[in-house]
Chains A and B, each alone.
Chain A
Amino acid sequence: MKNMNKEVVAHIENLEHTYSSGHKALIDINLDIYKQEITAIIGQNGSGKTTLSKHFNGLLRPTGGKIFVNGKDVASRRVSEMAREVGYVFQNPNYQLFCPTVLEEIRFGLKNLKLSDEQIKARSREVIEEFDLRGMVKKQPVTLSSGSKKIVALASVYAMDPEILFLDEPTTGQDQYGKTKLGLLSRKMKQLGKTIIIISHDMDFVAEYADRVIVMNESRVILDGTPADVFSNEEVMRTAHIMPPQIYAIGNHIHAVSSETRLSVMELAKVLAEGDYCL
């Protein structure tokens, strides 16, 4: 999806990655990631989503092609150096949380950035405010519910003020409340100037919150567009074995005359009520 008006924060050129086992996990990836957008990467397990995302902060190094973040080549930089620019929230918050209190968890990354005491205090206060964590700063992260753990893990990465934030499967094991909260937080972070990249299997979540969807299948990007474009492309959905949200599935079947709209329940209801469709 080319967009001339937006600022590019990450640029990927012919990226390839082959694991030492010989498995080609990424083949010829060309992408631009735009500032202040929520981008979702979807696809089956093993399609290369996580492999792709780990290239942004250097956890994996390209075996071919290049990747630039903020105009700088990632290949020559250390992961801890990249942490300032690219935040990565792992799927399982248990792998990330280790401090005795939530507050210290949030400060861990800031200490690694070697900020001054005042800066750390100010920044952690800000994050606690923004993520509404006041009630649990003194608690032990391990004892929190899985929803809260996820939020704390997210907050601890967000605190480092990275330009790009990766959320790996943010909604797995979350109830509706947790999902909505994560979605709203993503929107808020976007408004605060962050670029969010979500890797997810939760199509409803993606349809609701993403501005752009990238579909991966067998190590390649097979489609890149708005959620409406992507979910109404039945052929691609079939090849990638993705079940679009039901609202899109219905929309795809009734061929609404005004297909440009991003379908919501209300919009679909309106189309149905007005008889503005053909089967």
Chain B
Amino acid sequence: MSDMSMYIPGNSFFHKCDARVKMLLLVIVSIMAFLFHSPYLSGFLLIVGAVFNYISIGNRMFKHMLTRMIIIMMFFLIILHGFVNPRGETPASFFGQVISLPFFGAYTYEGFYLGLVFWLRLSSIIMMAELFISTTSPSDLIHGLHKLGVPYNFCFMVSMSLQLIPISVREAQIINSAQRARGLPEKSIVDRFKGLLPMFVPLVVSSLERMERTSMALECRGFGNTNNPTSMSDIVIRKSDIALMAVTLLLLVVCVVIRIRFGSFDMTDHLTSWADCFRLVAR
């Protein structure tokens, strides 16, 4: 992956959206995803997140690293939980058959249900994080943090480190090529461990050198003269941003009220068939 900042430039609604609003959105989604013990709300959030992502970055969302992570997690969580979750009691029927693994026992409805809920919770948050990361340029992010009261020097440090990641990745690739060209063995896993030292030393040395050069170059251009430098681009909260914020806050409030009045809709103790896993209330 050549560009590790993962920002995908564009001109969509979410690209123009204030970084602070998007941060708030991420926080609210994270809370809502864990409010209920049922797949419905987090599933809804996942779909909404996916739609938002599609609106913002189009087809590129399918190639996004985080989207891939969601799919990989789906397999791991739903399959693993089915077999290993300690709350699993009722063996699930696959067309009348029970699938079981040695040591772990049968695949259970409870395990499936919990795995599904857990996967939906995590992936709805990841989906929102993907929206945040791929539509917020690093400089907008820094502006957002600064406006939220984080000191400028710290924000600058964060943005510099973010930019260093792709540079270091590229550098690591070059160093790796250089050592392989010198016959560094690359057959087994042991070889790979041995190869860490020839990788590590040049990488650290060059990173330290670059840091020193960068800091001198910054100072030469007057960095540190003021704690509150002039900001050329300003981020403003538009009316649509306020509307988005209001809708999500309202949704949060409604969900919290429902949670307090009606509980978490946990179905784990009432599972006897596949259909039960997708019921909102017990029969």
Q: Tell me the A residues contacting B by CB distance below 8 Å.
A: 21, 54, 57, 59, 78-80, 83-84, 86-88, 90, 92, 94-98, 108-109, 112-113, 142, 156-157, 160
The 7 closest A-B pairs by CB, nearest first: A83-B183, A112-B183, A98-B201, A88-B181, A79-B180, A90-B178, A109-B182
A98: B residues at CB distance < 8 A: 197-198, 200-202, 205
Whether A95 and B181, one on each chain, are in contact in the complex, defined by CB atoms closer than 8 angstroms, is no
CB atoms of B182 and A157 under 8 A apart: yes
Residues of B within 8 A of A109 (CB): 182-183
A142→B5 CA distance, assembly (Å): 31
Of B18-26, B67-75, B147-155, B169-177, the stretch lying at the interface with chain A is B169-177
Considering the chains assembled together, what is the distance between the CA atoms of A157 and B197 in angstroms? 18
Q: Is the CB of B175 within 8 A of A95?
A: yes
How many chain B residues touch A (Cβ–Cβ < 8 Å)?
Answer: 23
Chain B neighbourhood of A160, CB < 8 A: 182-183
- Docked Cα-Cα span, A160 to B179, in Å, equals 13
Residues of B within 8 A of A92 (CB): 174, 206
A163 to chain B, nearest CB (A): 14
Indicate whether B219 reaches chain A with its CB closer than 8 angstroms.
Answer: no
Report the separation of the CA atoms of residues A247 and B198 in the bound assembly, to the nearest whole angstrom: 44
Q: Bound state CA distance, A88 and B181, in angstroms?
A: 6
Q: A94-B202, A94-B205 are in contact. Are A54 and B177 (CB under 8 A)?
A: yes
Contact (Cβ within 8 A) B205 A142: yes
- Bound Cα distance from A96 to B184, whole angstroms: 11
Closest to B180 in A: A79
Which residues of B, 249-264, contact A by the 8 Å Cβ criterion?
none
**Which of chain A's residues have a CB closer than 8 A to the CB of B179?**
96
User: Cβ of B186 and Cβ of A80 under 8 Å apart?
Assistant: yes
Q: Is B234 an interface residue (CB 8 A)?
A: no
Most chain A CB within 10 A, of B171, B182, B206, is at B182
**Are B181 and A83 closer than 8 Å at their CB atoms?**
yes
Q: Which of B186, B197, B201, B209 counts the most chain A CB atoms within 10 A?
A: B201
A80 CA to B175 CA in the complex, in Å? 14
- Determine whether B10 belongs to the interface, using a CB cutoff of 8 Å to chain A: no
Q: Which of A84, A96, A113 has the most CB of B within 10 A?
A: A96
Residues of A within 8 A of B197 (CB): 98
**A95-B206, A98-B201 known; 7 other A-B pairs, CB under 8 Å?**
A57-B181, A79-B186, A96-B202, A98-B198, A112-B183, A112-B184, A113-B183
| Interface check B185, CB cutoff 8 A | yes
Chain B residues, Cβ within 8 Å of A157 = 181-182
Q: How far is the CA of A86 from the CA of B180 in the complex (A)?
A: 11
Instruction: Give min CB distance, B58 to chain A, whole Å.
Output: 17
Q: Once bound together, how far apart are the Cα atoms of A57 and B178, in whole Å?
A: 11
A80-B186, A156-B182 known; A90 and B174 CB under 8 Å? yes
Of the A-B pairs whose beta carbons lie under 8 Å apart in the complex, a sample of 5, sorted by A's number, is: A83-B181, A95-B175, A98-B205, A108-B182, A156-B182
B171, B181, B200 — most chain A CB neighbours (10 Å)? B181
User: Nearest-CB distance from A106 to chain B (Å)?
Assistant: 11
**Which single residue of chain B is at the shortest CB-CB distance from A19?**
B2
**Complex CA–CA separation, A95 to B180 (angstroms):** 12
Which residues of the partner chain B approach A59 to less than 8 Å between Cβ atoms? 177, 180-181
CB distance from B167 to the nearest CB of A (A): 13
Asked if A83 and B178 make an inter-chain contact with CB atoms under 8 angstroms apart, the answer reads no
Q: A94-B206, A108-B198 are in contact. Are A80 and B178 (CB under 8 A)?
A: no
**Which residues in chain B, 160-174, are within 8 Å of chain A measured between CB atoms?**
171, 174
The residues of A that contact B205 with a CB separation of less than 8 Å are: 94, 98, 142
Minimum C-beta distance from A74 to chain B (A): 13
Q: For the complex, give the distance between the alpha carbons of A272 and B12 in Å.
A: 68
A45 to B130, CA, bound (A): 35
Question: Which chain B residue shows the least CB distance to A81?
Answer: B183
Nearest chain A CB to B44's CB is how many angstroms away?
A: 36
Chain B neighbourhood of A80, CB < 8 A: 180, 183-187
How many whole Å from B38's CB to the nearest CB in chain A?
42
Determine how close the nearest CB of chain A comes to the CB of B181; give it in whole angstroms.
Answer: 4
CB distance from A50 to the nearest CB of B (A): 10
Q: Which residues of chain A come closer than 8 Å to B182, judged between CB atoms?
A: 83, 87, 96, 108-109, 112, 156-157, 160
With the chains together, A157 CA to B179 CA distance in Å? 10
Measured CB to CB, the closest approach of chain B to A195, in angstroms, equals 16
CB distance from A188 to the nearest CB of B (A): 21
**Given A108-B198, A142-B205, A95 and B183 touching (CB < 8 A)?**
no
Using CB atoms, name the residue of chain B closest to A58.
B180
Q: Measured between alpha carbons, how far is A62 from B206 in the docked complex, in Å?
A: 30
| Bound Cα distance from A275 to B270, whole angstroms | 107
> Which B-chain residue is minimally distant from A20 (CB atoms)?
B2
- Give A92 to B197 CA distance when docked, in angstroms: 18
Considering the chains assembled together, what is the distance between the CA atoms of A90 and B198 in angstroms? 15
Minimum CB–CB distance from B196 to chain A (whole Å) comes to 11
Q: Which of B183, B184, B200, B202 meets A97, CB within 8 Å?
A: B202
CB under 8 Å from chain A, chain B span 14-38 = none
CB distance from A149 to the nearest CB of B (A): 11
